[in-house]
Every structure is written in C-alpha cells, then in structure tokens.
Amino acid sequence: MLALVFVLVISWVLSPFAAALSTNYYDHTCPEVESIITRVVKKAMMNDKTVPAALLRMHFHDCFIRSGGPSWNVPKGRKDGRISKATETVRLPDPTFNISQLQQSFSKRGLSLEDLVALSGGHTLGFAHCSSFQNRIHNFNSTHDVDPSLQPSFAASLRKVCPMHNKVRSAGSGLDSSAITFDNIYYKRIILGKSIFSSDEALSTATTTKALVSKFANSQEEFYTAFVKSMIKMSSISGSGKEIRLNCRVVN
C-alpha cells in the first residue's frame, strides 16, 4: 500500500479545479462513509483489485495518520467520469524528470513550486523498484557511470541491491531510511545526496526548491503544515465527472 502512495497522490493531479467538493459532503447521506471506505479499500487490496481514486484519497489520509503524519479534512463529493483513457497516465510526473519538467507538470494543474516540494515529501513512505532509479546507478551519462550527485557509499549500496542485469523482480530500496514513518527524513536525505529518484535530486537544483528542501529538512512542523495545505489544494482538483457509479468498474 505505502509503495503506491506518491504515484497515486500525483495521479489526482490531472484536471482543473472543481467547486463542488466539501468536507461534510456525506454527513447526512452517508455518515458512516469513513469506516465503509476503510473496509472496502482493505478488501480490494487484499484481493489485488483496483480501488477507485476517490476512495484512495480518503484511505491515504488514514494511512498518513497511521504512519505518524498530520491530519486534515479531505474534500469529498468528487463525481466519477464516464470515459476512462489509458493515455491519461502518461501525464504523470516521471521519476526521471528534471526540475523544469516537474515545474511544468505541476503548474499545468495550478500547483506551485512549494506544492511540488511539499507533495514530494510523500516519498517519505514506500518502496522503489530498481527500474525506477536504474538510470542513476548504471550508465548515467557518457562521463559518469553513476550519478555524481549520489553520495558514493549510498550509490554503492544501491548498485549492490540493483546490479546492471538485475533479475530479482522484487529488488529495490525504501524511499528513505524510515520508509514506514511519515517524517521529514526524505528532505534530509536529499541534502546528503541519498535521494532515490532523479526527480528527488532535481529539487536541489533550483534556488527556490532547494531553499524549501532545506526549510522542510530543518523543521518537520513546517513540512507538515505545507503538506496539509498542498494536499487540500490538490484534493480539490477534479475532472469532468458526471455520476456516482453503482459499480466502480463500469459507467452507470
């Protein structure tokens, strides 16, 4: 579950803002919605089934809290769309993105550089497979086999776990040294040259984002405050939803 957090968090950032969401949307129509969603999501994931993003938004909130993270009121009331396009997934930020690509991807959705850095903090949880950071530890460029921004001993440990011709499908690395605890260690590791993805390291390559990385590394409270603000902003992003599906797999 935690390995999916950031990828799915970012998958919400695909469409313009909507004004119909509310934190008390289900208070009268379905007051037990929180407990129902928790049961549905757990059952679906145990059976390796797809979980609708609207449910995941609320379940992730619960996961963040259980991992020691902050709490916030999740905007509710998002409608399901009547068309699903696989091509939409190519719009997700890639772990190999540089700072310009990241900024462009986020700004298209009305999100700022501070939102980018704060939401990237979701990488404090989860696990990354070798394929997602292979570009940094083998054949980095024509001059360096390994990304020179990586701390040498850390790079060596990643290369040991993920050799050039890795055949272990489950091989990889935790996204930070406390991958099951929601904290600000992710930012400290960026400063130390121990980030996993190229997109993580990219945050230290621009003046504004580098300052925010330092700010969040020095204060977990500042990170929590910014993360909650950006999560609420991002959770209010919606698409052209038309209905509430009776069966999550198909349109009504």
Residues annotated as catalytic are 61
Cα–Cα distances in angstroms (integers) from residue 103 to residues 18, 146, 202, in the given order: 22, 25, 10
Other beta carbons less than 10 A from residue 104's beta carbon: 11
Long-range CB pairs of 188-195 (<8 Å, 24+ gap) are: 188/217, 190/217, 191/217, 192/151, 192/154, 193/149, 193/150, 193/151, 193/154, 194/150, 194/151, 194/154
For residues 57 and 74, the answer to whether their CB atoms sit within 8 Å is yes
